[in-house]
Structure 1
Amino acid sequence: MDDQNKNLILATALSFIVILVWFLLFPPEEQTPTTDPEQVVATAPDQQATDTAPTPPSLATPQETRETALAEGARLDIDSPSLAGSISLTGGRIDDLALKDYFVTLKDEENVTLLSPVGTGNSYYALYGWAPGGTLNYDQVPGSNTEWQVESGETLAPGSPVTLVWDNGAGLTFRREISVDDKFLFTVKQSVENTTDSEQRLAPYGIVARHGEPDTKKFFILHEGVVRMSDGELEETKYADMPDMDFSQAENANVETISVSENGWVGFTDKYWMTSLLPAPGQGFTSVAKYSASNDVYQTETRLPTMSVAPGQTAETTTYLFAGAKEWETIRNYEKDKGFDRFLDSIDWGWFFFLTKPIFWVLHHLHALIGNMGFSIIALTIIIKAVLFPLAYKSYASMAKMKELQPEMEKLKERAGDDRQKLQQEMMALYKKEKVNPASGCLPLLLQIPIFFSLYKVIFVTIELRHAPFIGWIRDLSAPDPSSILNLFGLLPFAPPEAGSLLAIISLGVLPILLGISMWLQQKLNPAPTDQTQAMIFAWMPWIFMFMLGSFASGLVLYWITNNTITFIQQYAIMRSHGYKPDVFGNIKSSFNKKKKTEAK
């Protein structure tokens, strides 16, 4: 087995093994039925022994439909270019939110629902309030069941804030002004006016609560759950790990608190959507992640410091709520314009963040120029190949030099006979004399592994690839090629097998087939190995990769096809420049002749 073939087989085998391991997903966990949460508790920030806990709403009827739950109680509409929904005046909860620009599937026009009210089986909402301190109790501060009144505004829209008011009947008047921009950011200004004759102590808080574990993707390369930034430190906690957090007897829940001195945020992230609480930059607070096993509720909180409000004075605080799609440009603008510390890290860039971030940056700007994400991926691949070209040139030149040395190496084998040690010594001497590195041939392929992973991560987690069309039948580059060889790519009158079925494995689309062909043609730049084992490995390799990558995102397969095509052109040109003329058609013909001879035997 010559060194060139050894390197190629080794590199390809490594690629195969690493790809299989990397894309192995965890088996889905069985969803446990959602119990009936009686209450969700959050420890008061005042830290006084007499203080008790705020009480977000109960889930009395988890079997209610969304429509029924929305019909209960007074509401205030939300209508912005990006969001539609309503605010419940009971508790002032932001608990009804749909994303206007995003749809559940390509086949229908049902908008993605992000937040849902109490009473449904998947309650998910944001709640604000005040924790009592000093002589106050929870009946004297607004909480989960406070009935707010509308003081100003009719519909929450950009440039049209609404103000809610509640008088506790004991000298304290609370107001909550809520505004929204044209994307996904709410500004929540809470204030309390003290008309009593004594100082009052109380602390504002914000809560995002989810009743029951949501239906997540459960890919180990994707984080879904708590994501938070605490003075420059990013922390991620999956839903499944929240019950393992330290148990607090005082809160009767598993709790993890972090004291943030000036910059941070906390919330829940899904693959494409996120709901996060963001105190104003420079504001210290306590960041809380909590799981209540007794009622199966997941919760994140921001607990702001206790305020002392003198008689006749008003105290106020401003915080923010992000509730929407994890659009790169939108989140980046909030990070820059609002000063939200490292808010772009709310997107799951993964272990290779030093590659995924710049790769997406280039892809984003290419898409802004080209207007088609598929052609942008092709352009990105060309740029990557151009950056790696110096190394590729050196590698292919070394491979061409190895071809030139082939006759001399055959002579060395004849002289050495069965003395393998002598053969290795003489071959190394020959390599040193001719300045050839036998290992350089596999370097470009090995370098493709982290790039491949990074591009997969970008295509898998960034919402910009979701439902992004390419050409013709490819309407979603984040999904597998929907065409199928089993129905002759749509010519026969039946649908291809659904994903997850046994037939789906062999239901190859156009792009996976083109991938297999591109790998096969790349092999034909060199004659087939004379060793039968090597020849068999080479013969099967393109088609194994074709089936293995057939169910991957179309965008990734498109990248691989483009990469193979450019590699073929580069290698062919470099070999020609070094005096070796690849006989592609001859090698193809030779491979078919060998098959015929094998069948004849």
Structure 2
Amino acid sequence: MDDQNKNLILATALSFLVILVWLVVFPPPEQTAPTEETAIEAVEGDVATAPVAAETGAINTEVVAEPESPEAPRIEINTPRLTGSVSLKGGRIDELSLKDYRISLQPDADIVKLLSPSGSDSAYYALYGWAPGAGLAADQVPGAATDWQLAEGEVLSPETPITLSWDNGNGLTFTRTISIDDDYMFTVTQSVANTTGAEVKLAPYGVLARHGTGEDADLPGLKNFFILHEGAISMTDGGLAEIDYSDMRDFPVEPNERAQAEVFQVQQDGWIGFTDHYWMTTLIPEPGSAFKAAAKYDDRRKIYQTETVLPTLTVAPGETAEVQTQLFAGAKEWETIREYQREGVLKFIDSIDWGWFFFLTKPIFWLLHNINALIGNMGWSIIGLTLIIKAILFPLAYKSYVSMAKMKELQPQMEALKEAAGDDRQKMQQGMMELYKKEKVNPAAGCLPILMQIPIFFSLYKVIFVTIELRQAPWFGPFRDLSMPDPTSIYNFFGWLPWAGPQPDTIMALAFIGILPLLLGISMWLQQKLNPAPTDPTQAMIFAWMPWVFMFMLGSFASGLVVYWIANNTITFTQQYAIMRSQGYKPDVFGNIKSGFKRKPKADEK
């Protein structure tokens, strides 16, 4: 076996092994039912709130068995991108849908619902309040069950904020002003006026609550995919923390807590909330302010919570205290989140799950995003991205293919060395090394382009799977969602017939492979034909099966990733063919194809 074939076998086997491990650890996502976007099954009768001991700052979760009344007055939310309402029962922001996103590609599909009130099939909401200090009872401060009055405004829109008020009947008047921008950011201003004749202490807080299904089950509708983080997410003084829902159920019970919790002390800047595949809710205290943040799980009512508690305020008689916080509730769009970061939200762009290869994932997405801004089609943008990546790696590829061409030229000398060495392998290896040194050939150079592709492949896979910009992104014809597997097959006449092919997680999907996986297998097969088949039968068999094994393995991956792989193979074939010819070696592609179809003689034939 010559060294060139050894290197090629090694590189191919390594790629195969890495992708095989990747498939086992990170299985391709299943296509879920259209209801995947409304994630949570509610536990009726439970509303979460977070009274706090104002003197100590300890976060004590209480759950009151008082569901929101269906008849509670509501204030409409209507913005260019959001629709929903605010309940005057607790002043909760608990009904919110995203106008720009639908749960499926069907023309009549519902828009994505993000927040839902307690008692609904997807209880998920934001609420605010004040925790009582010494001398104040829990019913003297507003909480989850407070009946607020509308003091100003009729519809919450970017042009018209609303103001709610509540008088506790004992000298404290609370107001809450809620405003919203054109995208997904709410601003919540809470104030308290003290006319009691004595100073009072109290602490403002915010809560995000999601009702779950029990400690042995994850929230329905979530992807539960290892490569994707879903659960609590926080930024505390520059440190990012990601906590899965399953990990929240394993929290210890903290001192002064009535729920399992993990508490973060934030000195200056930060935020905390919940993140899903494409959507997120985040509590954001005013930049530059210290606060306590917590992620909790209440095992009794099966409620997940994230909270922010601001420092305790002392309000003198006749004075008014005011605090302002923000709430992000919407889609994790790169441009939108980046703009909020520029406006002061610390490292908000890291709320997108960039993964371990973030140093590659971020620039790859940035480049893809900007190419798409010019082209306006994500499929062609992926191909454009492939061209740029191949251009960047071209110097390395050039050296590799030049080395491969020289190895072909040295083939007669290598065969002579093998014959001269006989069974003395050490002598043969020494002779080979001297020949490589003399001819300035690196036998390992052929592996480098393939090895360089592995982290790029994984990073692009992360980009295509995680970023919302690829969600339901069309290319052409039947390829209407590049974040999902190829929808074509012989079953639907490769997209010409108006019904879907087999689900990618079924056995039938293997029999009815799509156009893109077929093109992937053919492109790998043609790339192999740049060189003659190995003389060793085992090697020849591995080479013969490899393209088709990869075709089935990658066939259930996102279409966008398969498009990248096809484009990469095509460009690699072109580069390798041109460079090897420039070095005097002329690959006989058609001859190698023909030889692969020749009938192999039997051992007893003479």
Question: Does TM, normalized by the shorter one, top 0.5?
Answer: yes
In structure 2, give the amino acid aligned to 1:88.
S
Match of 1:42 in 2: 50
3-state SS, counterpart of residue 295 of structure 1: coil
The 2-side partners of 1:174 and 1:343 are apart by 31
Cα offset, 1:456, TM superposition: 0.1
Change (3 A) 1:334 1:111: same
The 2-side partners of 1:123 and 1:303 are apart by 22
Cα offset, 1:507, TM superposition: 2.1
Change (3 A) 1:375 1:494: closer
Match of 1:397 in 2: 402
Cα offset, 1:54, TM superposition: 6.4
The 1-side partners of 2:603 and 2:331 are apart by 57
Q: 363, 367, 375: which is aligned to 1:362?
A: 367
Please give the per-residue CA displacement for 1:44-70, whole angstroms capped at 9, x wherever unaligned.
152459x9956465465xxxxxxxx78
3-state SS, counterpart of residue 23 of structure 1: helix
The 2-side partners of 1:321 and 1:529 are apart by 62
Please give the per-residue CA displacement for 1:57-85, whole angstroms capped at 9, x wherever unaligned.
5465xxxxxxxx78431100000011000
The answer on whether the counterparts of 2:46 and 2:63 sit within 8 Å (CA) in structure 1 is no
The 1-side partners of 2:45 and 2:582 are apart by 73
Match of 2:9 in 1: 9
Match of 2:565 in 1: 560
In structure 2, give the amino acid aligned to 1:318.
Q
Q: 504, 510, 521: which is aligned to 1:516?
A: 521
Match of 1:251 in 2: 257
The 1-side partners of 2:560 and 2:71 are apart by 45
Q: How many residues align?
A: 589
The answer on whether the counterparts of 1:41 and 1:251 sit within 8 Å (CA) in structure 2 is no
Change (3 A) 1:456 1:40: same
Cα offset, 1:491, TM superposition: 5.3
The answer on whether the counterparts of 1:122 and 1:214 sit within 8 Å (CA) in structure 2 is no
The 2-side partners of 1:599 and 1:481 are apart by 43
3-state SS, counterpart of residue 18 of structure 1: helix
Match of 1:189 in 2: 189
Match of 1:445 in 2: 450
The 2-side partners of 1:480 and 1:600 are apart by 47
Q: 288, 291, 311: which is aligned to 1:305?
A: 311
The answer on whether the counterparts of 2:150 and 2:163 sit within 8 Å (CA) in structure 1 is yes
Match of 2:75 in 1: 76
Match of 2:243 in 1: 237
The 2-side partners of 1:344 and 1:360 are apart by 12
The 2-side partners of 1:430 and 1:490 are apart by 55
The answer on whether the counterparts of 2:167 and 2:173 sit within 8 Å (CA) in structure 1 is yes
The 2-side partners of 1:86 and 1:150 are apart by 13
In structure 1, give the amino acid aligned to 2:232.
V
The answer on whether the counterparts of 1:52 and 1:132 sit within 8 Å (CA) in structure 2 is no
Cα offset, 1:9, TM superposition: 1.4
The answer on whether the counterparts of 1:76 and 1:88 sit within 8 Å (CA) in structure 2 is yes
The 2-side partners of 1:35 and 1:249 are apart by 26
The answer on whether the counterparts of 1:276 and 1:322 sit within 8 Å (CA) in structure 2 is yes
The answer on whether the counterparts of 2:488 and 2:500 sit within 8 Å (CA) in structure 1 is no
Please give the per-residue CA displacement for 1:447-506, whole angstroms capped at 9, x wherever unaligned.
100000000000000000000000111000000110012343145686422232211233
Cα offset, 1:514, TM superposition: 0.5
In structure 2, give the amino acid aligned to 1:44.
V
The answer on whether the counterparts of 2:61 and 2:259 sit within 8 Å (CA) in structure 1 is no
The 2-side partners of 1:478 and 1:58 are apart by 42
Match of 2:438 in 1: 433
1:538 aligns with 2:543: yes
The 2-side partners of 1:97 and 1:242 are apart by 25
The 2-side partners of 1:599 and 1:460 are apart by 50
Instruction: Please show how residues 290-369 of structure 1 align to structure 2 within 5 Å.
Output: 290-337=296-343, 339-369=344-374
The 1-side partners of 2:459 and 2:556 are apart by 18
Please give the per-residue CA displacement for 1:538-593, whole angstroms capped at 9, x wherever unaligned.
00000000000000000000000000000001000100110011111111111111
Match of 1:163 in 2: 163
The 1-side partners of 2:347 and 2:387 are apart by 30
Cα RMSD for the two superposed structures: 2.2
Change (3 A) 1:203 1:32: closer
Q: Which moved more, 1:242-251 or 1:444-453?
A: 242-251
The answer on whether the counterparts of 1:52 and 1:137 sit within 8 Å (CA) in structure 2 is no
Cα offset, 1:513, TM superposition: 0.5
3-state SS, counterpart of residue 228 of structure 1: strand
Please give the per-residue CA displacement for 1:363-417, whole angstroms capped at 9, x wherever unaligned.
1111111111111111110000000000000011000010000000000011111
3-state SS, counterpart of residue 410 of structure 2: helix
Cα offset, 1:251, TM superposition: 2.0
Cα offset, 1:99, TM superposition: 0.4
Cα offset, 1:250, TM superposition: 2.8
The 2-side partners of 1:572 and 1:600 are apart by 38
The 2-side partners of 1:347 and 1:21 are apart by 25
The 2-side partners of 1:110 and 1:545 are apart by 37
3-state SS, counterpart of residue 265 of structure 1: strand
Change (3 A) 1:193 1:45: same
Cα offset, 1:23, TM superposition: 3.4
Match of 2:34 in 1: none
Match of 1:276 in 2: 282
In structure 1, give the amino acid aligned to 2:54.
D
Change (3 A) 1:53 1:425: closer
Q: Which runs of 5+ in 2 are unaligned?
A: 30-38, 213-217
1:459 aligns with 2:464: yes
The 2-side partners of 1:83 and 1:91 are apart by 21
Please give the per-residue CA displacement for 1:498-530, whole angstroms capped at 9, x wherever unaligned.
232211233211111001100001011111111
Match of 2:96 in 1: 97
3-state SS, counterpart of residue 106 of structure 1: coil
The 2-side partners of 1:336 and 1:219 are apart by 31
Change (3 A) 1:26 1:448: closer
Q: Which runs of 5+ in 1 are unaligned?
A: 61-68
Change (3 A) 1:598 1:195: farther
Cα offset, 1:38, TM superposition: 4.6
The 1-side partners of 2:560 and 2:276 are apart by 21
3-state SS, counterpart of residue 417 of structure 2: helix
In structure 2, give the amino acid aligned to 1:93.
R
3-state SS, counterpart of residue 244 of structure 1: coil
Match of 1:65 in 2: none
Which TM-score applies when normalising by structure 1? Answer: 0.94
Please give the per-residue CA displacement for 1:98-123, whole angstroms capped at 9, x wherever unaligned.
00000000014310110010112321
The answer on whether the counterparts of 1:48 and 1:133 sit within 8 Å (CA) in structure 2 is no
The answer on whether the counterparts of 2:267 and 2:290 sit within 8 Å (CA) in structure 1 is yes
Cα offset, 1:13, TM superposition: 1.4
3-state SS, counterpart of residue 204 of structure 1: strand
In structure 1, give the amino acid aligned to 2:236.
S
Cα offset, 1:219, TM superposition: 1.3
3-state SS, counterpart of residue 169 of structure 1: coil
The answer on whether the counterparts of 1:460 and 1:478 sit within 8 Å (CA) in structure 2 is yes
The 2-side partners of 1:364 and 1:150 are apart by 43
1:593 aligns with 2:598: yes
3-state SS, counterpart of residue 249 of structure 2: helix
Instruction: Please show how residues 59-74 of structure 1 align to structure 2 within 5 Å.
Output: 71-74=70-73
Change (3 A) 1:224 1:6: same
The 2-side partners of 1:484 and 1:281 are apart by 53
The answer on whether the counterparts of 1:121 and 1:211 sit within 8 Å (CA) in structure 2 is no
3-state SS, counterpart of residue 311 of structure 1: coil
The 1-side partners of 2:310 and 2:563 are apart by 49
3-state SS, counterpart of residue 276 of structure 1: strand
Which TM-score applies when normalising by structure 2? Answer: 0.93
The 1-side partners of 2:597 and 2:243 are apart by 55
In structure 1, give the amino acid aligned to 2:363.
P
3-state SS, counterpart of residue 248 of structure 1: coil
In structure 2, give the amino acid aligned to 1:253.
A
